[in-house]
Each structure stands twice: as structure tokens, then as C-alpha cells.
A and B are shown apart, each in its own frame.
Chain A
């Protein structure tokens, strides 16, 4: 049954096969590259430029990267899930390889030289006897308005000049020289400013609005109201703020819906109606004899994206067409939802990307775009810029879902695991726009004729899953059952936050394993290696252990912990050794990571992503928890929602295991789960107590000690 499989186009290229939608050549010696993925601070634009320059044999400086727009770009869905290099990179590499071949065929005809004898150097195509032409000379004769074909083979890894080297990111100079790159810093001719009024209490309805005071503000252009959606448009940002303040003073809201009891969240999540799925089941051929069952519960709270910049968008109407500028992660997906709300064909809507601050998942970027579109309707054709407040960003944007994870293991007489049961409860981790018959945008729920609130779902396992992401162990336990219970009610709005459920599941699995190993008196690294078959997995664990000189001698107040995961079980491998210090509070002194992302296109970019993920995860573990009472979200500023500060940031060392022959995978979400578990395991090493509930704060530590004694 060894039939050769016919070659296939990379996914993104199959969806957008026309070569000219990916790249264009100019006679002046430039190549414009137009990916569907967007820059969100992860350096993707640079990595894609490297791939294109490499495959075409041109200098990087000739590549001009175009921002994604529904007017011109290939539709690559959403920039998420650490898939950009995998999807956009592979598509672009293939498209460039084919385009190179097209040029070479033409050059071969022109120069009378066989293709194999031709060489390309910085776009100049030359052959024996000093014959030469170039991409730029041939550009007007080559039409790229044709579909990509699957038979083209990109270069061998060893023939690539730029991939694998740490070129400087192309967006950084603008950002250190205060040149307008962020959407927040852009202005449009005749631009107005808008602000939206939102209730403090979750989902309260606007029952009365006195517009007089707002209308008296100098430079006010419009007060907009549609059901519970209300906002102002003014000539200046200052005026819009003043008008919003005036509007808020006289707004009357009906009671909203009660929020769950924050102090009893685990019980609440487990008691809610849910949709249960068996994610995976493995049955032992020879079941062992269980001597004992260990059962542990782990939780993580709601976590905020907490972007440093409040979300921002601009919109401008022209007749029944609207142009939107956004830092959304998916311009086509946002357009689809805007079309649903506006009841317009998608052809009437253009959505163009501009960079925002790091978003770490589905934050308010899409919501504010609809806000701008609705307010701009009252602006007489002038563009309106809307920016959310810090408070709005911290309370109205979706959060990463709170999770309860229970693991139960049957152990045999030797303390070895013979059966493993993992259950996870929580809301879904995805409610992104553009994927359902109803919109997922906040203002859509507030209109007089409102759309129903979207209940978050989980992506299918084939896409890495959601609440169940990384819930299936990579370890070779003889039998297991993995279940996911997704809530079908959603009192607190959730959607994609970096890693989705992988953060909680890896935390639980890796802490539980640590506990079993400790009970057996076995070294946690030896225990893991004994249960892993995948050599790449073993290699990152060994590399992290070697680098951290595992296991350093015991000192009072200092603890060491290890953890490992392969993100989504199909992506990047990451192992971490954490060194922590316990004084009045826990501080993380050092994180030593080893990572395997396959081919690292830009190694420094990968390390930057891993460092960033490790620091962000440290912040999640030590500090972060969305706070609320029964009426409203209360953690609406940086005092109530603290994140890690410079003085608290651990030293970080990253060892990158280079595998140029393997497909590249993303790095942005690889570190969060392992870092979280490694820190928790280090706390046990230092203090002898297991903290199973995040964040690991002083209060949690005291509670765990009391429970243990």
C-alpha cells in the first residue's frame, strides 16, 4: 500500500493560490510581499521577509512587506496559535520558489542557457559566458496572475542564506525613533474622536440617557445611541473625553446579571451546565493492579490580556461603504462580523491592519473596531478614531477562561501509574469574530435589536483544542481517559488568551507528575525521561537540566523545579528549570529553558518570544487574577491587576536546539505552561508544600501550608 502521495500546496497557499496575491516585482528592483498574517510584536513580518528573500535569492532590503488588508491580501484567517511561520511562512516559501522557477524559465529562453546552468544573485540571473538578466528586467513580461502548483520544491535547508540567521527586525527602528507605526499614532485628514459609554455592572441595560450636558461640550459632533450602545463624537480627543464624562453622569442603567462568587469559583464552574467530551481514551492491553488512587485538583483564575495600550480603531464611511483601520488579528474575520452587524455585503467593507500593542490573543481590538464603525455613521463621512479606556480594556474585553482541572491516577504496588484520568471544566477558549452565523463583537450585544451573546467554544482537537489543549499527556501511561466539560453559560466573557487551555493543563499534569515522582523518591527528570518515547522531547529536558546543572545542591529558602510540554502536542518542545527564592513572597530568580521549534527562521526572534513568554508566564503565576464582586469586574487598573515589574523579573537563559531540516513551528506559546509548572514545583522543593491554585501568592501559600499541616 505504498502509493506515492501527490504533493500538496501549503494550507494558506491552497486557500489563496494566486501567486500575485502574495508577491509582486517592480522594474525598480523591489519585491512587495503581501502576507495575510499580521505583526503583533512577535516579529513575524521580519521572519516572512527573510523567507521570501532567501527563496528568491535577493537581498533582504529589496523586500517590502505590505500590511494585511481585505482589499489586497490573501485571506489567512487569524494570526494566532503560533501558526504564522508554519502557515504563512510555508505558503510564502512555496510561492517564492515557484515564482523563481517562472523567472528562470523565461531567463533560460532569453539567454539561451539551460535552467540548471543559471544562477541567481540578488535578483540578477546569470549564466555561463557572462550572459545575464534580472527579475527586474523581466518583471513586465512575467504575469503572476496564475495559480500556484504543488510540484515546486523549495530550496534545501542547507542552501538557505538568511533563514536561521538573526537579522534585525524591520519594525524596531520606527518604534525607537517615534515614527508613526502604531494605530494609536496615526491620524487621518479631518479625523474626529469617539468614545463609547459602557456600564460598570456587567451587562446592565441603559434605560435613560440625558444628552444635554454632553451636547454642550465645545466641539461635540454627535451623541449616538442605539439601545444600550451609546457614544460621543467630537472634534478633539479631549472633547470626546469630556462629553463621555458628561454622558456618564446622567446615564441610568438597569441591573445587570450577577457574576459568580470569586471565592468559590471552582465549585461554580463544576456546577454549571456543560457540554462534555471525551477527548482521548487509551486502554491497557494488560491492565495493572491498582493499589492506590491519587486525586488532585488544580485551578487557574480568569486572566486578562492586559495589553499595555487600550484598544483603538478608526472608521470612515463613504455612502454605504466603510473603511476600517484596526489592530485585529484577522482582517477578513472582523470584516465578516461587521457585515453581519451592519447587514451589508462584505464587499462594502474594507478592513486594513495597523499595528497595535501586543494583544496576546483575542482582546478588545475587534470590539473597538465596531465601536468606531457605529460612531462614524454619525460623522458625515469624516473618519472617527475610537480608543478604549484602561478600565474598559481591563473589564469589557474577553478574558482567558478560568479552569478547574482534576487528575486522578491509579498506582500499582511500585508506585507506577497504571491509569490516568484528566478532567477539565471551564468556559470555552474561543469566541473570535468571523466564525459563526452571529457576530462576536461587544457592541453587537448592546444594540436595540441585539445579537445573542456568543458563548465561547473550543477549537477542535485537530486544531489543538481549547480547554482541552495539551490535556492528553505525552507520557506513555498504559491507559487513560481525558474529558473536557465546556460550560454552556458564560457569566464572564472569555476568548482566546495565549495557549488557551494549555497553560492550565500543563500546570496540572506537570505538577501532578512531580508529586508522583517525589512520592516514589525518584528524580523528576529521570521519571519524565522514563515515560517519554519522543527523542526531541527527551532532548529538551536533558538540555535544560544540563544547562541548569540539575540538580543544584539544596540551600535554605531556594527551590528548583522542572517541567516540560510540547505545545499542542504538535508544536514547539519546551523544558524549563525554575529557581525560586521564598522569603516574605515568592520570587523567581532564574528560568533556564531549552526549546526546539524545528527550523528557527530568526533564532534571536525565537529566543525573544521564549523569553517574553517565560516572563509573562511568571507574571501569571505570581500575580495575575481577574477580580470581581457579584456585580462587576473590580480589577480595572494596574494597582488592582498587578503584573510583573522590572525588579521582579527573573534571569532567563534559553538554549535553542536548531533543526533546520524540520518544519518551523511558532514559539510564542511554548513557554507558558512549562514555566508555570516549573515554578510551582520549585515552590514545593523549597517549602515542601504543593500550591495547586494559581496565582501562587503569599495568601495562597499560607492556605496551602495550613491545609498541609
Chain B
């Protein structure tokens, strides 16, 4: 098996696996990540979103070979209870979820948005999250939470 190298949440990672396998399968099945969730397997719901570099990407239809030498961030790498990312704090403060299965992917889409646009409008947040499906109807709270995180980051 050829080996594929990348950085996962800042850690050098080396995987011997069929390079055509999906990144999601590798992250969950081999690397013990549970942040990215399986939702559809077809890149249609965003539950499995991770960041590759500064972009949010659906991991379920991203082949392993395509992430060689890339920087991958999953929800595990976004922040921790001790050092939460402003988005994580804001989602708690706004109680911005119901079941929360989709939220790990949504946090990654939002994190990517704030990297390229630190002061988004509500419309821009909605556009950035449009590839993420939420079935419980927590959308408006999530948008508020992203705007709150942006404010907090701007305030430093």
C-alpha cells in the first residue's frame, strides 16, 4: 500500500491505505476521529465537513490521495473545553443546536468562513452554511452564534 502523508490537527500523520478510499473513512475508521460525522456519503449534507487548509470540505467524497501534504482540521482540532474556539463558546452561549449531529460539520464550515471573512454579514454566514443541512431547525441560532463568535474574535 502506498503511504499518504498529511497533517491532522497539527500532527504529522502517515497512513498506509488505498488512496482511493474516502478521507472520512480514514479519519473515523483509522484515526479515531469522531468530529466528522457520516450523513449521506455523497457530499450532500456537510455533516462530515473538515477543513483542508482554509477550506471546508466534505470528507465523505474526498479521496485520501487528494489530501497528500495538506493540513486537515477536524472538530477535535478546532478547540477543547480548556481552550475553546470562539465558535464553540458561541454555540454553547446561543444554545445553537437541538440534536447536534450536524453541528460538527457546521462548526467547520463556519471556522473556514471566519478565516477568509472575519466580519461576515448574516447573509454571508447563511451562504457559507448553505451546503450544511440541519433537520432540527436550529439554523437561526447557528447564524447568530457564528456572528457572535466573529464579534468576539474582532474584539480580540
> Which A residues form the contact surface with B (CB < 8 A)?
40-43, 166, 168-169, 171-173, 175-178, 180-182, 184-185, 236-238, 306-310, 355-358, 360, 387, 389-390, 604-605, 608-609, 611-616, 619, 637-639, 643-647, 649, 651-652
A613 near B80 (CB under 8 angstroms)? no
A173, A182, A389, A643: the one within 8 Å of B81 (CB) = A173
Q: Which residues of B contact A649 (CB under 8 A)?
A: 126, 137, 139-140
Known: A175-B97, A175-B103, A176-B103. A357 touches B79 (CB 8 A): no
Q: List 12 A-B contacts (CB under 8 A).
A: A177-B79, A177-B88, A178-B33, A236-B29, A307-B135, A308-B101, A308-B134, A390-B40, A611-B137, A615-B139, A646-B142, A649-B139
B42, B74, B100, B135: the one within 8 Å of A643 (CB) = B135
Q: Which residues of B contact A309 (CB under 8 A)?
A: 37-39, 47, 101
Write the nearest CB–CB distance from A653 to chain B, whole angstroms. Answer: 10
Write the nearest CB–CB distance from B34 to chain A, whole angstroms. Answer: 4
A182 to B138, CA, bound (A): 18
B100 near A175 (CB under 8 angstroms)? yes
Contact residues of B between 62 and 103, Cβ < 8 Å to A: 74-76, 79-81, 84, 88, 91-92, 95, 97-103
A647 near B130 (CB under 8 angstroms)? yes
Q: Which residues of A contact B100 (CB under 8 A)?
A: 41, 171-172, 175-176, 181
Q: What are the 8 closest A-B residue pairs judged by CB atoms, nearest first?
A: A41-B99, A615-B137, A612-B137, A175-B100, A357-B101, A358-B99, A185-B34, A178-B35
A180 near B21 (CB under 8 angstroms)? no
Tell me if B45 counts as interface (CB < 8 A to partner A): yes
Q: Which residues of A contact B143 (CB under 8 A)?
A: 646
Write the nearest CB–CB distance from A643 to chain B, whole angstroms. Answer: 6
Write the nearest CB–CB distance from A353 to chain B, whole angstroms. Answer: 14
A237 to B126, CA, bound (A): 34
A609 to B137, CA, bound (A): 9
Known: A357-B101, A646-B126. A178 touches B34 (CB 8 A): yes
A168, A185, A646: the one within 8 Å of B139 (CB) = A646
A613 near B137 (CB under 8 angstroms)? yes
Write the nearest CB–CB distance from B106 to chain A, whole angstroms. Answer: 9
B138 near A612 (CB under 8 angstroms)? yes
Q: Which residues of A contact B74 (CB under 8 A)?
A: 178
Q: Which residues of A contact B28 (CB under 8 A)?
A: 237
Known: A176-B92, A178-B35, A357-B135. A646 touches B44 (CB 8 A): no
Q: Which residues of A contact B15 (CB under 8 A)?
A: none
B75, B129, B135: the one within 8 Å of A178 (CB) = B75
A616 to B98, CA, bound (A): 12
Most chain A CB inside 10 Å of its own CB: which residue of B28, B100, B102, B104: B100
A175 to B44, CA, bound (A): 21
A608 near B140 (CB under 8 angstroms)? no
A644 to B81, CA, bound (A): 32
A310 near B38 (CB under 8 angstroms)? yes
Contact residues of B between 107 and 123, Cβ < 8 Å to A: 107
Tell me if B127 counts as interface (CB < 8 A to partner A): yes
Tell me if B141 counts as interface (CB < 8 A to partner A): yes
A308 near B39 (CB under 8 angstroms)? yes
Q: Which residues of A contact B49 (CB under 8 A)?
A: none
Known: A184-B38, A238-B21, A357-B99. A168 touches B92 (CB 8 A): yes
Known: A177-B84, A178-B104, A647-B127. A237 touches B29 (CB 8 A): yes
B135 near A308 (CB under 8 angstroms)? yes
Q: Which residues of B contact A172 (CB under 8 A)?
A: 91-92, 95, 97, 100
> Knowing that A172-B97, A615-B138, A646-B130 are A-B contacts, what are 7 other residue pairs whose CB atoms are under 8 Å apart, sorted by A's residue number?
A177-B88, A184-B34, A308-B101, A308-B134, A358-B98, A390-B40, A608-B138
Known: A358-B99, A358-B136. A180 touches B34 (CB 8 A): yes
Q: Which residues of A contact B40 (CB under 8 A)?
A: 390, 637-638
A647 near B29 (CB under 8 angstroms)? no
Write the nearest CB–CB distance from B74 to chain A, whole angstroms. Answer: 7
A637 near B42 (CB under 8 angstroms)? yes
B135 near A306 (CB under 8 angstroms)? yes
A176 near B107 (CB under 8 angstroms)? yes
Most chain A CB inside 10 Å of its own CB: which residue of B34, B35, B38, B135: B135
B47 near A43 (CB under 8 angstroms)? no
Most chain B CB inside 10 Å of its own CB: which residue of A238, A310, A643, A652: A238
Q: Which residues of B contact A168 (CB under 8 A)?
A: 92, 95
Known: A309-B39, A390-B42. A608 touches B103 (CB 8 A): no
Residue of B nearest to A389 (CB): B41
A172 to B42, CA, bound (A): 27
Residue of B nearest to A645 (CB): B130
Residue of A nearest to B98 (CB): A41
A652 near B38 (CB under 8 angstroms)? no
B133 near A308 (CB under 8 angstroms)? yes
A308 near B137 (CB under 8 angstroms)? no
Residue of A nearest to B75 (CB): A178
A614 to B141, CA, bound (A): 13
Most chain A CB inside 10 Å of its own CB: which residue of B84, B132, B138: B138
Write the nearest CB–CB distance from B142 to chain A, whole angstroms. Answer: 8
Residue of B nearest to A40 (CB): B99
B21 near A358 (CB under 8 angstroms)? no
Q: Which residues of A contact B75 (CB under 8 A)?
A: 176-178
